[in-house]
Structure 1
Amino acid sequence: MSRECHISSLVVHSRPDRVASVVDGIGAIEGAEVHGGEEAGKLIVTLETETENQVVERVNAIQLLDGVLAATLVFHHFEPVPELE
């Protein structure tokens, strides 16, 4: 089975009074990174994972964070990782 690299982006809408804790919660999720939007409570988030199942698991984990109103998948791309000889 060949390895894959999955890159996804999300918009995460947070309650204004919980933005800091939502950013911290996202930062604790493996492969997740916040790239801005704290001022408006609409966070731009990327995920880097090895499988499609991991994308779904991490989106679900983000949706369950206290203070998250919505997490919407905006982009998803994957490609095989070349095997080194």
Structure 2
Amino acid sequence: MDDEVHIASFIVHHRPDALASIEQLVAKTPGAEIAARDTGRCILLHECGGTRELLACMDAVQATPGVVGVSLVYHHAEPQSTLSDILQPHPEEEGRL
């Protein structure tokens, strides 16, 4: 069976003083990055090999002091092998945006 790739994003609502702790956690988490920051919230992206890794990251962020909530916004999974496939437009859709 193929290894999977999971790509997810979630919004983290937090107290402003918690951002430094979240940044430290994300820096230690392979495949995680903060995509946007604002007072009291940030958007975290995570690419990993499975649902367990994704949920472990979400749980760790939720357990960070000052974090109010973590909401999953997007989650996509597919076999690792399909990431190297070259996509061709369908003839009927060629030239359309």
TM-score of the superposed pair, with normalisation by structure 2: 0.76
Q: Which residue of 2 aligns with 1:24?
A: 24
Report the Cα distance in structure 2 between the residues aligned to 1:18 and 1:63, rounded to whole angstroms: 11
Residues 2-81 of structure 1: pairs in structure 2 closer than 5 A: 2-37=2-37, 39-81=38-80
- Any unmatched runs of 5+ in structure 1? none
Aligned residues: 83
How much does 1:19 deviate?
1.7
Per-residue CA shift, 1:40-69, capped at 9, x if unaligned?
Answer: 221010011101111111111111112211
TM-score of the superposed pair, with normalisation by structure 1: 0.86
Q: What value does the CA root-mean-square deviation take over the aligned residues?
A: 1.7
Which of structure 1's runs of 4+ aligned residues deviate more than 4 A?
none
Identity over the aligned pairs, expressed in percent? 34
Q: Which has the higher contact order (CA 8 A, sep 6+)?
A: 1
- Any unmatched runs of 5+ in structure 2? 85-97
